[in-house]
Structure 1
């Protein structure tokens, strides 16, 4: 049970670090009406794979990411925590 908690905490940590890194890479300016200013520079596909227990959280994150960065894609496959490590 403790190893499941540690694994879940590690996955949340990775998601938090990834989202922090993505936010840190964007530009913003004061007084801007656009929430995703600078998002035209963000493109490509970010692919993740891991525990099915994270699927709901990743779905929410995918929607927010798609709104903020329409020319980028976030893909998450819930194939089990062992596959995510590989």
Structure 2
């Protein structure tokens, strides 16, 4: 078993050099901003969703939660396919 491989130290030095971040005036590390981009298709889908605070939607969500917990929730694959097709045809 070789403990001191010649390339291992060079690789460690290269790794350590990349970890050095630029430090600003206040001694803090400059960080980039996180960014989220929502596609126009996703925005269109959001517009089609019911009002989340409506009583009808709350009832529907409660019923679905109950079915999922009991293991009785089933969605026909035909309905899923229809929704996908109608969405993609309307683009």
Higher strand share: 1
TM-score w.r.t. the length of structure 1 is 0.27
TM-score w.r.t. the length of structure 2 is 0.26
Higher relative contact order (CA 8 A, sep 6+): 1
